[in-house]
Amino acid sequence: MIKVTPASFLAVSEEMQTSTKVGLLTVNYQTSLGTKEVEGKQVPQGFIGSHVFNETGNNIFQVQKIEEDTDPKFVGKDILAVLTTDYIATLKALNPKVKIESTL
């Protein structure tokens, strides 16, 4: 989970913020197998889709982030920890006056 202190309206982009104050966030992800084109051929590719939910179950970014599971940041690492760190970095950049930390 991600803890926000004090609970605040969070900027989630340059133009948008959460509709309610947020104190705790949950990072969820799922993996899937798809394909991608390599040198004109479709080859199997694993993907990681992730969301960040507030206490009421709303996706605060309103989109699913899709990344390839072969990205070096994921290989041999805890996927949830990597995603949590990435989302915290994004939120801190957009909300510099709010304390945002991992509870993992």
Where b means 16+ CB within 10 Å and e means fewer, 3-19 reads ebeeebebbbeeeeebe
Give the tens place of pLDDT for each residue, 12-60.
999 999 999 999 999 999 999 999 999 999 999 999 999 999 999 999 9
Please give the model's pTM, rounded to 2 decimal places. 0.91
Q: What is the CA radius of gyration of the chain?
A: 15
End-to-end CA distance of the chain: 6
* pLDDT reported for residue 54: 96
Predicted pLDDT of residue 41: 96
